[in-house]
């Protein structure tokens, strides 16, 4: 009876390890995308004043609020976009935004800051999950 329980436990650890590895890969991809946005905004960013069109929330949840803005790039292109990278308490009829001059849809509130804290934290968590997945898979090897 003990031998029948052992393969089930090993199978469970294999699936847990695979799920951890897949989750870590997804988190690393998201962190890489966040870092890329930050990189281009810091290198090619232009600050302009945008008109605040309002806030919307995904599925009515306050945690998923997005700021909708309209701004005109320095080359004269008008862009309407939304972002989650802004501070609630600084909202008025206008707000300064930073956008990528080569991809004007890439933008965020200028006071949000152009640093790598969020991608670094997410990347660090992904590495922890990746390590946990590796240990689960290594620990599930047959004796």
Angstrom CA distances, 61 to 70, 71, 99, stand at 23, 26, 27
Question: Among the listed ranges 21-25, 111-115, 122-126, which one has the minimum average pLDDT value?
Answer: 111-115
Tens-place pLDDT, residues 121-141: 999 999 999 999 999 998 877
Query: How far is it, in rounded angstroms, from Cα 78 to Cα 75?
Result: 9
- Name the H helices within the chain: 2-44, 117-139
Query: How far is it, in rounded angstroms, from Cα 118 to Cα 63?
Result: 16
Q: Give the bridge partners for 100, in sequence order.
A: 45, 103
Tens-place pLDDT, residues 24-58: 999 999 999 999 999 999 999 999 999 999 888 77
Q: Which 3 state secondary structure label does DSSP give 55?
A: strand
Angstrom CA distances, 119 to 36, 93, 107, 124, 140, stand at 9, 30, 16, 8, 31
Query: How far is it, in rounded angstroms, from Cα 63 to Cα 141?
Result: 42
pTM exceeding 0.85: no
Residue 14 has pLDDT above 70, yes or no: yes
């Amino acid at each position: 009876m003990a031998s029948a329980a052992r393969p089930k436990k090993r199978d469970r650890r294999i699936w847990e390890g695979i799920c951890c590895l897949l989750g870590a890969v997804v988190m690393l991809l998201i962190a890489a995308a966040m870092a890329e946005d930050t990189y281009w905004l810091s290198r090619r960013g232009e600050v302009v004043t945008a008109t605040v069109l309002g806030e919307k929330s995904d599925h009515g949840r306050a945690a998923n609020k997005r700021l909708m803005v309209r701004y005109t790039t320095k080359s004269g292109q008008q862009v309407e976009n939304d972002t989650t990278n802004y501070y609630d308490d600084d909202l008025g009829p206008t707000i300064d935004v930073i956008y990528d001059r080569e991809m004007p849809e890439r933008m965020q509130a200028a006071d949000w800051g152009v640093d790598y804290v969020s991608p670094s934290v997410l990347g660090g968590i992904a590495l922890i999950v990746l390590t946990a997945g590796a240990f689960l898979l290594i620990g599930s090897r047959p004796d």
